[in-house]
Structure 1
């Protein structure tokens, strides 16, 4: 039975699924998305360079390059409850242990382990929502669920600096671990599969498949026009997202001499606007006459305008900076809602988990490489301008390519009619 025929998509329990999937996403990414808010504390305490701060973020995103592919395949074979639940428990355990790290390398190691568990949260929650919601509500539901990421980031931006100021940044890791633990328990207790017939999906059926044929079928997706467009746009937009997430507070603190609290507050505003962006833009994609991908292209244009404003227009009042942070957050984080709905909807039902994992794994390459690259540019040039300029150029290139593809292939899909 395909997702579009599933009677459970009419069940009211789908809203419970949406709630717990959003909670699981927010709790799993709570610390990963909030590390930028306490980066200044770690940098000052251990006398780290901006490159080393970027590597801390990359450490948590390294394993998901492969882990997302593994998680995606597991999601096509096993119940999402166990894949997501166990992964989030691993996040919790690694973060709690990381508070005892007494060296930079040890902290990197614990964050790598965090990334291994975090690999399951993104594709797992996305597949859960995709399975439980029909097409006419899928974008809206996916937007709410994906809002869990900036929601977790917004809450961590508000909470972690306070914890770091009062008790030390190490206690921020414990707080992140406890939040992840709560999310894992909730998901394990309340999640139900959208497929009521376990005979249709499971390890026995999957194990019978030829591994080589399965992998060939999965990676053949890379040849599809839809995946090429998804990869180009995803890599550029995720680079912008993490540039905003990690370096905005440092940029405002160094360049405009804002206090740590004020810089963290602006990051909180950006994350909060991202929550709204993911919901509103995804809901728009459900009804957009120009197609579900058009809101993603709109985000690219808005991001270019926002970053140009950030680096070239003098803004020294908190109100103007807050408005700009909101703009960048709304579009710089909000793009992910319609983008991931486009991925889930375009893929064949039997390959949804792997398609999500493959698309997100491509993004992970940028997530791992971009933070240290931006940090290195800052260390070499003693300016944030080259880094912001790089993000603008990447987004502009992706926008031009996407616009050309939209004109050539107005109904991009994975070979589906």
Structure 2
């Protein structure tokens, strides 16, 4: 069965909304060279500012997910995007590092509205045999948002400073607010007995099973290389290989576009395999070798080869997100999907918030190539945590 045009239109609106909030969260990472050169911050301090939006995200993701389960996707998305526009406007006026960090954290906190709501919306509108493809397309929002930030933030920072660079995410969020108001509608769901507006299957999917917990834990580990590559890729090629900020930003953008395509391909793969977890495990294995290749080529100082390895590693590092996200939504059921997706993203963004200062400090001690090689440990640890196919058969 092929979905009607309405779900595809809402999917497009969700990609725009999630990509816009991704730009809001990602913009500080691409301000790191500007913060080092113009404001005299250390790499650790700049990394903390880069991680501030992700810290805000982790504080509110479950709350936004619970609100989605209670009030529906449309309301949460519209209210959250409006608050995001206001928060970005506030962050543009911040000058002191501490104030800027707090403002960026607030921007991240309200931008989290789209994470669970968009995933729950797509799960509700698309049938299982098309859900991997649809969620793969939805998951392109993160690399597309990163690509937009990589291309837009550095030149805007050069021309207009930090406020002008932050304005990019605010403008895109305002645009997505208008589009979502016109397009997004909640999917029809049968009411849960005894609870107005609810859905069937109210029991907690965490009770009596570790399946979701294992997926959450594996996803936390797999997100570390993703954010390390996106956060410090610009620094690696500008400082380590002497590339211009524009050339390094273009490379990061290419890597993000490749990652977007990879998410769609693995989504189609999971539909055809009728499994999200088997492809997820193979992606984790590939991540180990990709990070080791980046470290080795960085040590050898082979710029062109390192750039190619960076693109491949970036593509692999984002490929797992759609698989895990879809698996969590399907295994948790519609009554718990918002909260379960919120928990899923909370762990990921908590790890992402730590990547800036922790990996920044590791780079300061060991250098970028050694840090990338050491980060191969995280996908290696994730491999045995991914549940086996029996977990999906038990759901069915």
| Alignment partner of 1:41 is 2:34 | yes
Residue aligning to 1:388: 372
Residue aligning to 1:334: 319
Structure-2-length-normalised TM-score: 0.91
Aligned residue among 153, 165, 169 for 2:146? 153
Q: CA separation in 1, counterparts of 2:113 and 2:344?
A: 14
Q: Please give the secondary structure, in 2, of the residue aligned with 1:48.
A: coil
Q: CA separation in 2, counterparts of 1:53 and 1:202?
A: 51
Residue aligning to 1:71: 64
Residue aligning to 1:301: 285
| Alignment partner of 1:316 is 2:302 | yes
Q: CA separation in 2, counterparts of 1:36 and 1:279?
A: 25
Q: CA separation in 2, counterparts of 1:369 and 1:278?
A: 24
- Counterparts in 2 of 1:240 and 1:233: CA distance versus 1, 3 Å: same
Q: Please give the secondary structure, in 1, of the residue aligned with 2:390.
A: coil
| Alignment partner of 1:122 is 2:115 | yes
| Alignment partner of 1:89 is 2:60 | no
Aligned residue among 380, 390, 394 for 1:411? 390
Residue aligning to 2:227: 242
Aligned residue among 235, 253, 269 for 1:284? 269
Shift of 1:124: 0.9
Q: CA separation in 2, counterparts of 1:358 and 1:414?
A: 23
Q: Counterparts of 1:134-145 in structure 2 under 5 Å?
A: 134-145=127-138
| Alignment partner of 1:111 is 2:104 | yes
Contact 1:30/1:155 (<8 A) preserved: yes
Q: CA separation in 1, counterparts of 2:122 and 2:307?
A: 32
Single out whichever of 188-197 and 352-361 deviates more from structure 2: 188-197
- Counterparts in 2 of 1:401 and 1:114: CA distance versus 1, 3 Å: same
Residue aligning to 1:168: 161
Q: Please give the secondary structure, in 2, of the residue aligned with 1:231.
A: helix
Contact 1:77/1:202 (<8 A) preserved: no
Contact 1:87/1:121 (<8 A) preserved: yes
Aligned residue among 174, 179, 182 for 1:181? 174
Q: Counterparts of 1:247-266 in structure 2 under 5 Å?
A: 247-266=232-251
Contact 2:91/2:107 (<8 A) preserved: no
Q: CA separation in 1, counterparts of 2:295 and 2:84?
A: 36
Single out whichever of 46-55 and 31-40 deviates more from structure 2: 31-40
Structure-1-length-normalised TM-score: 0.87
- Counterparts in 2 of 1:324 and 1:236: CA distance versus 1, 3 Å: same
The gaps in structure 1 that reach 5 residues or longer are 1-6, 207-213
Q: CA separation in 2, counterparts of 1:171 and 1:315?
A: 35
Aligned residue among 345, 349, 372 for 2:330? 345
Q: CA separation in 2, counterparts of 1:95 and 1:183?
A: 14
| Paired residues, number | 391
